[in-house]
Every structure is written in C-alpha cells, then in structure tokens.
Structure 1
Amino acid sequence: MAKTYFTEDHEWLSVDGNVVTVGITDYAQEQLGDLVFVDLPEIGRKLTKGETAVVVESVKAASDVYAPLDGEITEVNGALSGDPALVNSAATGDGWLWKMKLADEGQLAGLLDEAGYKAHIG
C-alpha cells in the first residue's frame, strides 16, 4: 500500500515499495496560479536530493521543483506536455510530475506526514 509524504518545498510523494510518484501540493499550485508549461526531466536521469528536477511555469513566475530523494527517474507524466493545467486541477492525482526508483529508503525519515505538512503551511 502506498504511503504519502510531503516536503517543506511543497512536493508530495506517494511511496509504493521502491517506486516514488512525485508532484507538487495543492497549496503550491494555488500559490503559483495557472500553469502554462512544465519542463519534465528525462527518463533515466539520476537525481540527488535537493537538486532541481522540474521547472514549472505559471502566468506569475517560473519555479523549480526539487528532487525530494535520491533516485532514478523511471517515468514522466507526458499528459502535462499538452495540458500543464492538469497540475492545477488535480495536483495530488493526475497532475503528478514524475516517478522514480528510490535509492535510499532512509531518506524517507526526513519527510513530513500530512499533519506535519499542514502545520508547516500553517
């Protein structure tokens, strides 16, 4: 069963075994406004925690989305190329950004649960 985590940088992660699905939170998409472009990473790219993985552009600004964990990208959400606003309408569902293979399960310990994230955004 998948478990959901959050980062202080407003990413959500759904972890199912060693497969991690990553997106931005509903709070983050609200702050950004209407997304007009999502620059998705390449499949096979190895990410280091904290590294910029994706750039999302809204009518307000461009923002980096950071790798919440070390791992290798196994899939990207190709639907966002034609419809970046999917992140706005379904940030924590069909608007996911990428999937990655988890490299170090120990890094999950540094993430927030839903209550911790809600407290963080206050």
Structure 2
Amino acid sequence: MNFPEELKYTKDHEWVKVEGDVVVIGITDFAQSELGDIVYVDVDTLDETVEENEVFGSVEAVKTVSDLFMPISGEVIEFNQGLEDEPEAVNEDPYGKGWMIKVKADNIEDAQNLLDATAYKKLIGA
C-alpha cells in the first residue's frame, strides 16, 4: 500500500494535502481497498463551511456506504467533478485523480495536528 510522506492523515482514513491556505482531501489507499469497488461519490457540501469531524459527503461501494469526515474546518470550494463519471478513479489513483474536495481552511495550522504517514501506518497496522 501507498502512504505518501508529504500528506497528512486522519483516523477516519482521509488524507490531506496542504496547498497554501487550501487543502485537498481524499480517502487513503487503505480505505479504498477496504471499501472495494467504488461506484459513487456524494458531496453535497460544496460552498458550505464544514466543521472538523463533521460529515462532508459519502462514498458508495458495491456492498457499503461510508461517510466522509472533514479533517479540518473550512469552506468546501471545489468538488472533483471527474468522480461523477469515473468514481473508480478513487480505487485506481486515490492520491491523484481520485481526490474528492478542496477546502479553504479556517486555520491551515490545524493540519499539523493530523497524523503523519508513520503514525497512520501504525494506526492501521501496516
């Protein structure tokens, strides 16, 4: 499994990439492998401010639906429109084409409180 060192991670299996005062968020390689074939990504919080640990959407796999939790408070400013036609991109490239949302963070420093790759690997026993 792949856990890029430059990303931050949550206990709920989201990843965060900091780009200035914006963060890009998706689910980890581990999460997509546990879910199986992803058939739909639902994000209904575009242009809304979502607090840390609140649900910002859900991901639907063949056998289950899983909530997506906001790792850092902020306004959802972009949804990856490519996932509407190609939700399997989350399985194929979770850290690239499979990103889910971009958020204008309320406080970008909060990202430093998330797990690094080593801590996340330990959490999942990898």
Q: TM-score, normalising length from structure 2?
A: 0.91
Q: Which sits farther off after the overlay, 92-101 or 106-115?
A: 106-115
Mapped pair 1:30 → 2:25: no
Cα RMSD after superposing both structures? 1.1
The reply on whether 1:73 has 2:76 as its aligned counterpart is: yes
Shift of 1:42: 3.8
Q: 2 CA distance for matches of 1:39 and 1:121?
A: 25
Identity %: 41
Partner of 1:121: 124
Note the alpha carbon deviations across 1:98-121, whole angstroms, 9 max, x for none. 000010134223200111111111
Query: Map of 1:1-122 to 2, 5 A cutoff?
Result: 3-122=6-125
What is the distance in 2 between the residues matched to 1:121 and 1:107? Answer: 22
Structure 2 unaligned residues grouped into runs of 5+: 1-5
Whether the 8 Å CA contact 2:45–2:56 is kept in 1: the answer is no
Give the SS at the match of 1:65.
strand
Runs of 4 or more, structure 1, over 6 Å off, are none
CA displacement, residues 61-118 of structure 1 (integer Å, 9 cap, x when unaligned):
0000100010001110000011111100011111000000010134223200111111
Counterpart residue type for residue 68 of structure 2: V
Letter of the 2:123 counterpart: H
Kindly state the Cα deviation for residue 60 of structure 1 after the two structures are TM-superposed.
1.5
Count of matched residue positions in the alignment of Structure 1 and Structure 2: 120
CA distance in 2 between partners of 1:40 and 1:94 (Å): 16
The one-letter amino acid of 2:75's match is E
How far apart in 1 are the matches of 2:32 and 2:46? Answer: 24
